Amino acid sequence: MSPLPATALPGLAQPLYESIADLPIVSPHGHCDPRWWADDSAFPDPAELLIVPDHYVFRMLYSQGVALRDLGIGVARADRNPRAIFRLFAQHWDTYLGTPSRGWLEHTLYRTLGIDVALGPDTADAVYDQIAAKLATPEFRPRALFERMGIEVLATTDAALDPLEAHEAISASEWTGRIIPTFRPDDVLNPARAGHADNIARLGAMTGENTARYDGFLAAIRSRRAAFRALGATATDHDVPDLMTHWLAPAEIHALHGKAVQGALSNAEALAYYGHMLVEMAQMSADDGMVMQLHAGSRRSTNRALLAEFGPDMGADIPHAVDWVAGLDALLNRVGNDPRLRVLLFTLDESTYARELAPMAGHWPCLRLGPPWWFHDSPNGIRRYFDQVVETAGYWNLAGFNDDTRAFLSIPARHDTWRRGVALHLADQVERGVFDRRDAERLAPLLARDLAKDAYRLED
Amino acid sequence: MSPLPATALPGLAQPLYESIADLPIVSPHGHCDPRWWADDSAFPDPAELLIVPDHYVFRMLYSQGVALRDLGIGVARADRNPRAIFRLFAQHWDTYLGTPSRGWLEHTLYRTLGIDVALGPDTADAVYDQIAAKLATPEFRPRALFERMGIEVLATTDAALDPLEAHEAISASEWTGRIIPTFRPDDVLNPARAGHADNIARLGAMTGENTARYDGFLAAIRSRRAAFRALGATATDHDVPDLMTHWLAPAEIHALHGKAVQGALSNAEALAYYGHMLVEMAQMSADDGMVMQLHAGSRRSTNRALLAEFGPDMGADIPHAVDWVAGLDALLNRVGNDPRLRVLLFTLDESTYARELAPMAGHWPCLRLGPPWWFHDSPNGIRRYFDQVVETAGYWNLAGFNDDTRAFLSIPARHDTWRRGVALHLADQVERGVFDRRDAERLAPLLARDLAKDAYRLED
Amino acid sequence: MSPLPATALPGLAQPLYESIADLPIVSPHGHCDPRWWADDSAFPDPAELLIVPDHYVFRMLYSQGVALRDLGIGVARADRNPRAIFRLFAQHWDTYLGTPSRGWLEHTLYRTLGIDVALGPDTADAVYDQIAAKLATPEFRPRALFERMGIEVLATTDAALDPLEAHEAISASEWTGRIIPTFRPDDVLNPARAGHADNIARLGAMTGENTARYDGFLAAIRSRRAAFRALGATATDHDVPDLMTHWLAPAEIHALHGKAVQGALSNAEALAYYGHMLVEMAQMSADDGMVMQLHAGSRRSTNRALLAEFGPDMGADIPHAVDWVAGLDALLNRVGNDPRLRVLLFTLDESTYARELAPMAGHWPCLRLGPPWWFHDSPNGIRRYFDQVVETAGYWNLAGFNDDTRAFLSIPARHDTWRRGVALHLADQVERGVFDRRDAERLAPLLARDLAKDAYRLED
């Protein structure tokens, strides 16, 4: 018997949930590694699978005083003791109570992996052994899991300089799972990224364009976008720590690009340069039809000692307030009325849901709102999202759900959390008389799957 | 039978709602056209009545890719095809699911207009014909509707330069409906408004004052305020895109006014000038008793292509964050302790409800909080408002409800939404033990009608 | 019979509440006067006890047009008419409906004081007489009340220059109640405080250090911290109106200190100086183990006329937006990874709960989140707090509850409000399947008492 409690949702939510619980999964944005399906090798040990790469998981232990090295972070894989790491994690299982990580891990363990012992400090070894045994079987190889999870399509996120070899291999294989890349050009567009000038040079080498000149640089980006599209990509993605867009005069952007290739931009110039490049990307999206995703407002690596010792993505990326109206002014006023453009917005500043994002999505034809992102992709976060966006944006200006995860095994768990949230929201709307049950029944699959396909132009 | 679902509110909310559902309507702030009641002509066709002038309605269609010209925007009335516009609207009826526009339109169609066919893509013509037939009858003329809706008093919003001829005509007629103007001097006070310098000159011509001099300008404004009061006005209204108030030294404001009449203020000077004028307005309100309304924080016409082609009010007014404490510092510290002053605050930045507005209203004797404004005048918006303001401001520092609409037929719908929200809120308070049912029964009519009358000094 | 309604909480909330309702009270932060227990004299009259010193209570009356002098504010005690003040308060009893003040006062009157007449305009005298009679009895002396309330430990808040005579007296007495000081050095650290330069000199005189020199100044502060610890203090507290921390080079801070002792800092220099001193305090906390509390974001005394006439704390302290990530950057990057450090954060800007504070507390080992503060220490405020912090911070990064009150008699009422809020929150989690009833039963006493003891290092 599964240790997962069989909780029925209240009232109408339960039948609405059941009507969408088993729909195929559309995963249009995430960070899984395409090599998993290119190679189809067994996943590594439980610690490597569930703890070491998951900053949701290890940040919480770090906040409770656990040293990152004791969790294998900054330790060569050969020197890690996965069982000891798993025991340390299990000792702190209580600290995840109330967090979505707890819910995702429970779903992953008890449902996706089929573990039949409840995790806790005393059962760490038993659970560890069960997971390890499962991972050794063919049924838990990446391709088999992908199929059993009912994934219709999954998009990875890939740097502009990524040669896309894994995607090529999947495409060339006989396996038919639909896994597509997403074009993420931050490393060549944002001068604040490490190695930016070098990356521009590498982009030139990769595409045969003279990226030291601005027009050659744009041509090189267009070339990479086409290469991504050839492997099925329908979208781009952009991390925007400090949201600001600009449209600079030709002389100005040429001059800035001249400095950029030498790594000589000041901070203010770097912001202006990146702000201009985002508008260029929007123009290219209008031209080539790639859906543009903007993830804005995460202040990266705010713990500089950890950044120096362990690198980025150590759980110290903290959101800050975003001004979407000012930030997108240049982009929207240049391309926002173009009927070919689609831009999906993701925020970590929930105070902008009702104040800025829903009114903007309810006006601009190019905009759709992405689902709750990162810290807010949780039962209460989903409730706050629907509460604050639907009344102004309606449902058809939303982009459905995406799991945005690098933890492949948690994908069913995350979609399940969303689908429960959808059912609870729709049931609440019916109970308060906003619309009737038949409307809710139509909206449920729209929110669970169809809007995501439509928003990302993933038509079959 | 009405297509409107007969939804009972849960628990105590239903009897509380029933106790206030049929109270007379007090509408102390809105944008109806007083000529409707001066002339008492039939309303035009259904598209002209429900779609073309309603930016809530057409912005949503624009966000879904519908061209504004296809909705008659920017098209001479003679060249519009109202039936085609109505069909286009009906095709997209689904996109309004979950929005207050949907609820208001349903109430307007099925209750106020008595349409007995459910609107949808297939019934557009039938609904159109029923509406048109109703509008042709005497029962749906403006005065008859005003009476049947049970409107006790309705305030329009009128520019300082408006000669108030329609209000004069209503006042001179035998008809007894109480329709009063509201003094909205933005065009003569805010240098960011188009034609500001000309407007100052026109104000001089209208009042016989030398408005090129600052003291003559103030005298002219006082003269217009008195003219409004003579026709029943009890309030002023001010649109404040970027909230900031200042009290400038005489030499400074005289110098700025000298530039203002020549249209020669810089952006920063224009902001300072307007910030000073708001304090002057507060001082005049303390003197003449007119209630001062501040609607702050809407960034107007953020889609400049639409502004250039169609003008303002095209659905691209997007809120931004407001700092009420800094913004009102000069005004409150100059006049805020004057027991004669009353200032009503309206925000689109809900993050200020609990953080700034409720603490301010719970301290300053002059302040009361206006109801949820614009995007937030919705079932969930009302819930968030009560949740965040009542605990610090109490009920007696609130200004009740106003519908703020230019869509006359939707007035009963909007007050009905508010009254349901009041009932749901009070029932929730009783269920959690905050107060008992008798308190809730006393508070219900206060929130539904009496606070609005009191806040706007609309004593009979 | 008590006039307090016997409201049962819905569902599982009631048994959860009952399981914690009578736990001992841990009050690790507040503003009670230690002389009450040093002297153990009777409390003064009802107005002096419940109205004159409570800015929650009198600010609401001021907002409704009551003059502060009519409430005894700014009036010598001998010239006050406490019964008239109490009558005036009772006349406006309705205006508190929906506020936590109302709930606290009802609990204080009907439960803690055992008044058996419901307060209202007509019963002011009867209630007044009953309170006065109670206060005259030995059972309502400070020490007896402390014991009957079941207070396990209570911390006061004491200026760095406070000689702590009352704490010495309590400590030297035979009475065993645990009352400890908290080190609040704002007056000697923040140049924006009145008399700052004088206070530095007084600090030198008090400690025998040469505080005109920066190293002597730091030594003097260390000396006062030790004196506080000797009387049981485990924590410091810092009011931070405009959150910003800095780590300045030695030459720079020495120069600023040289100006500070002469009261010659500019506003910008004063902010930099205070921002640096907060980092010094964090370093001292890492060294001596005192828990550091930061209360940030209250703009003090925004009504300057009242400040001039009556002094601070007149109900015109209004919150403003806070940027926690930027504001704590210098402090956290200098000391934040030190395992000895503990910093508790309190905000009045709820938009930072989910956006900044929960992610920060879920990462930095030194951080824990304080409970809802001031305006937000209310039933809905508690609900919003749990809703927005738990999913990212979990429960073990919270600091439990503190009442933060100078109204001693309201302490049981405030803890009761929190405990009901805890029970409602946990019941909601169980009902939505986040965790099961046994988890909720374990979490309830943790949130009601144990986390506070742990966070403040109040181990027995």
DSSP line for B18-52? HHHTTSPEEE-S----THHHHH-PPP--HHHHHTT
Nearest CA in chain B to C104: B434
Q: What is d(CA C426, CA A424) in angstroms, rounded to the nearest whole number?
A: 18
**CB of C304 within 8 Å of any CB in chain B?**
yes
Chain B window 334-393: which residues touch A at a Cβ cutoff of 8 Å? 348-351, 375-376, 378-381, 384
Inform me whether the C-beta atom of residue B300 falls under 8 Å from chain C C-beta atoms: no
Sequence-distant (≥ 6) Cβ neighbours of residue A356 within 8 angstroms: A323, A324, A325, B318, B319, B320
Mutation target for A interface from C331, C385, C391: give the one with most A CBs within 10 A.
Answer: C391
Q: Strand, helix or coil at A155?
A: strand
Residue with tokens 């007894």: B176
A42-140, CATH topology level: uronate isomerase, domain 2, chain A (1.10.2020)
Q: Where are the alpha helices (DSSP H) in A261-378?
A: 267-288, 304-310, 324-327, 329-335, 351-352, 358-361
Nearest to B302 among A325, A361, A365 (CB): A325
Looking at residues C401-418, what average pLDDT do you find?
97
Domain extents for chain B? 13-42+151-455, 43-140
Q: How does residue C459 score in pLDDT terms, banded at 50, 70 and 90?
A: confident
What pLDDT is attached to residue B1? 54
What's CA B9's distance to the chain center, in Å?
27
- Rounded to 10°, the helix C82-91/C55-63 angle is 60
Contacts of C391 in chain A (CB under 8 A): 98-100, 375, 378-381
Instruction: Express each pLDDT in C326-347 by its tens digit.
Output: 999 999 999 999 999 999 999 9
Which positions in chain C touch B397 (Cβ < 8 Å)?
63-64
Mean pLDDT of C412-425: 97
Contact B131, B125 (CB under 8 A): no
* Tokens representing residue B260 in the block: 């203002």
Q: Cβ(B161)–Cβ(B181) under 8 Å? A: no
Judge residue A431's burial from the number of C-beta atoms within 10 Å of its C-beta, 0-12 exposed, 13-18 middle, 19 or more buried. Answer: middle
Q: Is A60 on the interface with C (CB under 8 A)?
A: yes
Q: What is the DSSP string of C69-105?
A: GGGTTTS-GGG--HHHHHHHHHHTGGGGTTSHHHHHH
On chain C, the residues whose CB falls within 8 A of the CB of A95 are 394-396
CATH pick for A13-40+143-455 out of 3.90.1640.30, 3.30.70.980, 3.20.20.140, 3.20.20.10: 3.20.20.140
Contact B46, B82 (CB under 8 A): yes
Whether C97 sits inside 8 A of B397 (CB atoms) is: no
Q: Which residue of C has its CA nearest to B433?
A: C7
What is the per-residue pLDDT for C172? Answer: 97
Q: Quick one: closest CA in C to B329, which residue? A: C302
Does the pLDDT value for residue C1 go beyond 70? no
The chains found to touch A (3+ Cβ pairs under 8 angstroms) are: B, C
Q: Is A308 on the interface with C (CB under 8 A)?
A: no
Calculate how close chain C gets to B151, using CA atoms only, in Å.
28
Interface test mutation site (partner B, options C92, C322, C380, C383, max chain B beta carbons within 10 A):
C380
Tell me if A395 and B97 make a contact (CB, 8 A cut-off): yes
Residues of C in contact with B398 (CB under 8 A): none
Nearest CA in chain C to B351: C351
In the structure encoding, which two tokens stand for residue A205, read together? 């080498």
Comparing CA positions, the residue from C439, C444, C446, C431 lying closest to residue C397 is: C446
Residue C3: band (very low, low, confident or very high) from pLDDT cuts 50, 70, 90: confident
Scan residues 98-127 of B and list those with Cβ closer than 8 Å to A: 98-100, 102-103
Rounded distance between C-alpha atoms, residue A126 and residue A103, angstroms = 20
Which bin fits A186, alpha (ψ -120 to 50), beta or left (φ > 0)? Answer: alpha
C325 closest CB neighbour out of A302, A305, A378 = A302
Name the residue among A10, A103, A351 with its Cβ closest to that of C434. Answer: A103
Structure tokens at B6: 């007969």
Are A391 and B384 an interchain contact pair (Cβ–Cβ within 8 Å)? no
Q: pLDDT truncated to tens, each residue of chain B (460 aa)?
A: 578 766 789 999 999 999 999 999 999 999 999 999 999 999 999 999 999 989 999 999 999 999 999 999 999 999 999 999 999 999 999 999 999 999 999 999 999 999 999 999 999 999 999 999 999 999 999 999 999 999 999 999 999 999 999 999 999 999 999 999 999 999 999 999 999 999 999 999 999 999 999 999 999 999 999 999 999 999 999 999 999 999 999 999 999 999 999 999 999 999 999 999 999 999 999 999 999 999 999 999 999 999 999 999 999 999 999 999 999 999 999 999 999 999 999 999 999 999 999 999 999 999 999 999 999 999 999 999 999 999 999 999 999 999 999 999 999 999 999 999 999 999 999 998 899 999 999 999 999 999 999 999 998 7
- The token duo for B436 is 């008992």
Q: Compute the distance between CA of residue B317 and CA of residue B334 in angstroms, rounded to an integer.
A: 31
Q: What is the mean pLDDT of each run of 10 residues along chain A (460 residues)?
A: 76 97 98 98 94 93 97 95 98 98 97 97 98 97 98 98 98 97 98 97 98 98 98 98 97 98 98 98 98 96 97 96 97 98 98 98 98 97 98 98 96 98 96 94 98 94
Q: Which CATH superfamily is domain C13-41+142-455 in?
A: Metal-dependent hydrolases (3.20.20.140)
Q: What are phi and psi for residue C180, nearest 5 degrees?
A: -125, 155
Contact A351 B350 (CB under 8 A): yes
Q: Quote the minimal CA–CA distance from B326 to chain C in Å.
A: 9
pLDDT digits (tens, 9 = 90+) for A108-154: 999 999 999 999 999 999 999 999 999 999 999 999 999 999 999 99
**Tokens (6 digits) for B336:** 């805020």
Residue contact C64–B397, C-beta within 8 A: yes
Whether the ipTM is more than 0.90: the answer is yes
The pLDDT of residue A1: 54
C438 touches chain A (CB under 8 A): no
For residue B287, which amino acid is it? Answer: D
- Chain A hits for B296, CB-CB cut-off 8 Å, are none
- Which residues, numbered 78 to 97 in chain A, qualify as contacts with chain C under a Cβ-Cβ cut-off of 8 Å? 94-97
Report, at the CATH architecture level, how domain B43-140 is classified: Orthogonal Bundle (1.10)
Measured CA angle at C399 (ends C398, C405), to 5 deg: 135
CB contact under 8 A, A60 and C362: yes
Touching C: which chains, 3+ CB pairs < 8 A?
Answer: A, B
Compute the distance between CA of residue B322 and CA of residue B320 in angstroms, rounded to an integer. Answer: 6
Cα(C95)–Cα(C116) distance, integer angstroms: 21
**Measured between CA atoms, how close is B351 to chain A, in angstroms?**
6
**Longest Cα separation, chain C:** 69
CATH architecture under which domain B13-42+151-455 falls: Alpha-Beta Barrel (3.20)
Nearest to B325 among C302, C304, C306 (CB): C302
Partner-chain contact A391 B378, CB within 8 Å:
yes
Q: Which residue has the tokens 């106790």?
A: B19
Question: Could you tell me if A289 and A339 are in contact, meaning their C-beta atoms sit under 8 angstroms apart?
Answer: no
CB C395 within 8 A of CB C443: yes
Q: Which among C336, C363, C443 has CB closest to A97?
A: C443
Q: Which chains touch B (3 or more CB pairs under 8 A)?
A: A, C
> Taking CB atoms and an 8 Å limit, are B351 and A356 in contact across chains?
no
CB-based contact (8 Å) between C431 and chain A? yes
